[in-house]
Structure 1
Amino acid sequence: MADPQHRVVVTTDRPARRRAFYAAVVALSLLGAFGLYRYSRASAVSDFEAATGERDRLIDERRQLTRELRVAKAEADSLRNQVAYLSRSQQIDDNACVAVKQSLSRLQAESADLREQLAFYRGIVSPQESQAGVRVYEFRITALKTTRNAYRYDLVLIQPVRSEKRVGGQAQVVIEGLRNRQKQRLKLSDVAMNGDGNLLFSFKYFEEFSGELRLPADFRPLRILVSVQPSGDGRPGLEDEYEWAKILQETDEP
């Protein structure tokens, strides 16, 4: 009886079949690798073409934006130049306008002064005034800004140029007003700030007087009486009356 622990196994070696299997595996591997390569290559080419197209599009867009930016900068520069030109033109026009206004004001003031001087000299040389004797050409009151209730007075006396003699005499200024609701008269000599207020004159054609006066705080002026009395020739004097509100002028001080 044979020993059951020992058996003999006989196998048949098939090398052709094994080689075919290995070849199939290799072929499949190569085919998969080639398919993967083709897929990867196709994807890479597609992605490259897409990226290239996007790059070209971005380049074209950047070029277009660059051109638009260049045009915008040129327009901005042109507008800035126009604004600067208009600003300078406006400044020149404003300066010229101010200069013209100043010149016009100066010429108007000079014209008014010349008209006043012309009227003054006409009053002296006028034939109609040849027998008028001494008279008041002008009397003005101007408020002073520096001192309360203080004023400047200006008095001009004239006589016709046809009178060849000097004339002398005295002018008096009296201020009428209300004080404590009572009428009161103040002489220039009572309120004059400089000098005694005695207006003695001696002239051939004209003479000017000016000075400052200060009124009491509780005095309200209403009118001014200016009297002129020549001396020595027997001619009668004259008296002019001026309403305070009509002859009062604003201060000409700065």
Structure 2
Amino acid sequence: MSDAEPEPSHHHWVYLGLGVFLLALGFGLWGVWATWFAGGDPSTQSATALRASSDKLSQEVSTLRRSDQISREANRDLERALAERDEEIAGLRADIAFYERFVGATGQRRGLSVHDLEMQLQSGDAWHFVATLTQNLNRGAVNTGRVTLSIEGTRNDRLEKLSWSSLRKQANAPGAGYSFKYFQQVEGEVMLPKDFKPLRVTVRLVPAGGSAVEQSFPWPETVRGGG
């Protein structure tokens, strides 16, 4: 009787299956550890990245909006400045044209007079005035004297006229001096009572020699700068 090959032991297959199971379990546990502990939750990582990107974009948008606002404000300021400069240039050109005609050979001869009067509100009840005086009758002659103002208006529904001393808040206040050949701008300040409503301004020129000259202006025509 020939010797037969021994059949594989039943325990051998059991051990082999158990080894495969343990190996698969080990790979599974390693994958779980790599996903949850080593690499973190993918959904959590994605949400964090999206939040960071959103915050960055929001900051960039805010920066761009602020830059745009600053640019718009700068443009508006520049436009206002240019408009004011154009207005000043136009006024200067008009003044130059007037003075050229005034002192030119063809200019109309006039004695001492008030060409223009400007009133501008300052702080409180103070008003700054600029009176432009002219003359071209006596060419080359120097005109000297003093300027005073008086203002007519109403207070408590009654007509009232404020003298130069009242406007200056000083008894026997001296007038503003002038000295020129052809023209000069005389400036000063006056004070108006709060309950006084001005209607008309009268400028009085008292030359060193000769008769006084008076010229009146409606108040609204003299006010500059929104006063």
Could you say which TM-score interval applies, normalised by the shorter chain? Answer: 0.5 to 0.7
TM-aligned CA distance change 1:249 to 1:97, over 3 Å: closer
Counterpart secondary structure, 2:189: strand
Q: How far did 1:233 drift?
A: 7.7
From 142, 149, 154, the counterpart of 2:120: 142
Q: CA deviation at 1:197?
A: 4.4
CA contact (8 A) 1:193 1:214 kept: yes
Q: Tell me whether 1:204 sits opposite 2:181 in the alignment.
A: yes
In the alignment, the residues of structure 2 paired with residue 87 and residue 250 of structure 1 have an alpha-carbon distance, to the nearest angstrom, of 38
Matched, 1:157 2:130: no
TM-score normalised by length of structure 1: 0.58
Q: Distance in 2 between matches of 1:216 and 1:78?
A: 65
Over 3 Å counting, the alpha-carbon distance change for 1:218 and 1:72 in structure 2 is closer
Q: Counterpart of 2:73 in structure 1: which amino acid?
A: V
Compare 205-214 and 127-136 and name the one that shifted more.
127-136
In percent, how many aligned pairs have the same letter? 20
Confirm or deny that 1:86 pairs with 2:36: no
Give the Å deviation of 1:209: 2.2
Aligned with residue 75 of structure 1, among 50, 67, 70 = 50
What is the aligned partner in structure 1 of residue 10 from structure 2? none
Q: Does 1:190 align with 2:151?
A: no
* RMSD value, Cα: 4.7
Q: Does 1:175 align with 2:175?
A: no
* Residues 77-106 of structure 1: per-residue CA shift (max 9 Å, x gap): 333332222222222222233333333333
Question: 1:140 aligns to what SS in structure 2?
Answer: strand
Whether the 8 Å CA contact 2:132–2:186 is kept in 1: the answer is yes
User: Cα deviations across residues 201-246 of structure 1 (Å, max 9, x unaligned)?
Assistant: 2212432222222335664422112244666589x94623222586
Report the Cα distance in structure 2 between the residues aligned to 1:81 and 1:179, rounded to whole angstroms. 65
Q: Which residue identity is paired with 2:50?
A: E
Distance in 2 (CA, whole Å) between partners of 1:130 and 1:71 is: 89
| 1:10-25 correspondence to structure 2 within 5 Å | none
Could you tell me whether the CA contact under 8 Å between 1:189 and 1:196 is conserved in 2? yes
Gaps of 5+ in 2: 1-23
The structure that has the greater radius of gyration is 1
Q: Secondary structure at the match of 2:41?
A: helix
**Change in 2 beyond 3 A, CA 1:114/1:248:** closer
**CA distance in 1: counterparts of 2:173 and 2:162, whole angstroms:** 13
Are the aligned partners of 2:152 and 2:201 in contact in 1 as well (CA < 8 Å)?
yes
Normalised by the length of structure 2, the TM-score is 0.63
Report matched runs for 1:37-116 at 5 Å. Answer: 66-116=41-91
Verify the 8 A CA contact 1:144 1:151 in the aligned structure 2: yes
Aligned positions, number = 215
**Contiguous gaps of at least 5 residues in structure 1:** 1-48
